[in-house]
A and B are shown apart, each in its own frame.
Chain A
Amino acid sequence: MIRSMFKLLPLLLGLVFIAGPSYAGDRVKLPELAPAKGDKCVEPTDVMRRDHMEFILHQRDETVYGGIRTSKHSFAECINCHVTPRADGSYPRVSEKDHFCASCHSYASVKVDCFSCHADRPEKAIKRGAHGHSHASFKNFDVDTAQHRLAYKDDGSGITAQAEGSAQ
């Protein structure tokens, strides 16, 4: 009996092995990553999967403090290559699951905070309205030459009052 069980063992193991992939079908589907431009990334895929945040963080400080804007580990270049237009020409936003970053981050349930400030699409994909508005730009100042300092003109409207045009 025991001998026959030993004979069955490879079969049992095989059954477990075969059952494995079918079991995976019930789990959360692996993310389908959007196609990227170019043949390969700046680092091997397995390195990027684990350490992309380290590269971006390192380059972040180099850029902010040193003005080093080389493209290899630049955040903007990540977006340029990895956020590509859909078939209809529209670009996915990070709030949508087919965005490169969002697809994996929603799968891994890791929140990214990059895009509250940074653009989630290449510059060419961002449509902006005209900036022809009259921005709060004119304010009434008086220079008191005796005091040699700038002072807001006291027109009763307070510091944040808009004086557009009235300065003219």
Chain B
Amino acid sequence: MNPEKMTQESGAQEQPNSNRRQFLGTAAAALGGLSIAPGVLLYSVSHAKPADQPVTDAVRWGMLVDTSKCEDGCNDCVTACNEEHALTDTGRPETDAQWIRKLTVKDRLSGNSKSMPMMCQHCEHPPCVDVCPTGASFKRADGIVLVDKHICIGCRYCMMACPYKARSFIHEEIKDQKVEAPRGKGCVESCTLCVHKVDRGDGTTACAEACAKAGHRALIFGDLNDPNSEISQRLKKFGATQIRADLGLNTGVRYQGL
């Protein structure tokens, strides 16, 4: 057998749906514009989809975290997220929901430390979706990983599977939920990439808004499939790290300066 062909075949076995993955990988990492001529795109990307049309994979929402701009001690993204989704403090922080949290990472050798937010990484191949026994954990066509709480039975497999510790389980009854952020006891939840804002066409998230308001602009939300979006341009120019890139999840959240 032709060795080249064999390699291709074994590659395809290891990586199902490899064509799509390669396509998205190219779009997300290299971000080469899919153009037939300069300025003429093979597809057009509209950020404000028609309200009565479902989301498509023409867009892939993502977030860029510039750790060099993320200020140590600033907590505005977390506060904004808590307010946006009415995540309340039960007084028992061990079980409080965290959709986004601030971390300080330190290099043991040099002592260099960095501050950054951690949240659902909106993987292209989300382990939470793989393990969900009911199909409640799912990825939307536009790359946002969500929980269908109507189907979630609260088994918490996804919490075990997530390498980023991104999901929270709601242990207690919740009152005064936001209309746009229904949450309830017995379900798992995590960052929705402000899906209600995305669907509204806001083009940003609560955390990114708060970060910009604080003057840091460490969080850039945008379409990874659109080569002209700010996030794509910056990724193309400066590159970025995926946390636990070794897992091959192709995360939608990328970190610069790590």
Interface residues of A (CB under 8 A from B): 60, 62, 64-70, 76, 79, 116-119, 122-123, 126-129, 131-146, 148-150, 153, 160, 162, 167-168
Contact = CB atoms under 8 A, between A and B. Distances in A.
Mostly, the A contact residues are: loop
A141 B82 CA distance: 22
Contacts of B83: 131
A141 B177 contact: no
Interface size class of B (residues with CB under 8 A): 35 or more
Given A117-B182, A143-B107, A150-B105, 9 more contacts: A66-B54, A68-B54, A116-B185, A123-B178, A127-B176, A137-B98, A137-B101, A138-B101, A143-B108
Contacts of A118: 177, 179, 182
A1 B45 CA distance: 89
Interface stretch (B5-13, B19-27, B193-201): B193-201
A135 to B, nearest CB: 6
A118 to B, nearest CB: 5
Given A118-B182, A136-B96, A137-B98, A67 B109 contact: no
B157 interface: no
Nearest to A162: B93
A31 to B, nearest CB: 25
B96 to A, nearest CB: 5
B160 interface: no
Contacts of B89: 131, 133, 135
Interface string B171-211: 00110111110111101000000011011100000000000
A116 B54 contact: no
Nearest to B104: A167
B148 A160 contact: no
Contacts, number: 134
Interface centre among A62, A68, A149 (most CB of B within 10 A): A68
B146 A64 contact: yes
7 contacts: A76-B179, A131-B82, A135-B79, A141-B104, A145-B109, A150-B105, A153-B106
Nearest to B199: A67
B229 interface: no
B55 interface: yes
The 8 A-B residue pairs with the shortest CB-CB distance in the complex, in nearest-first order: A66-B54, A117-B184, A136-B93, A117-B182, A143-B105, A167-B104, A133-B89, A67-B199
Nearest to A159: B165
Interface string B73-92: 10100110011001111000
A143 to B, nearest CB: 4
Contacts of A79: 179
B72 interface: yes
A142 B98 contact: no
Nearest to A149: B244
Given A135-B89, A167-B104, A65 B82 contact: no
Contact of B51 (A70, A122, A134, A167): A70
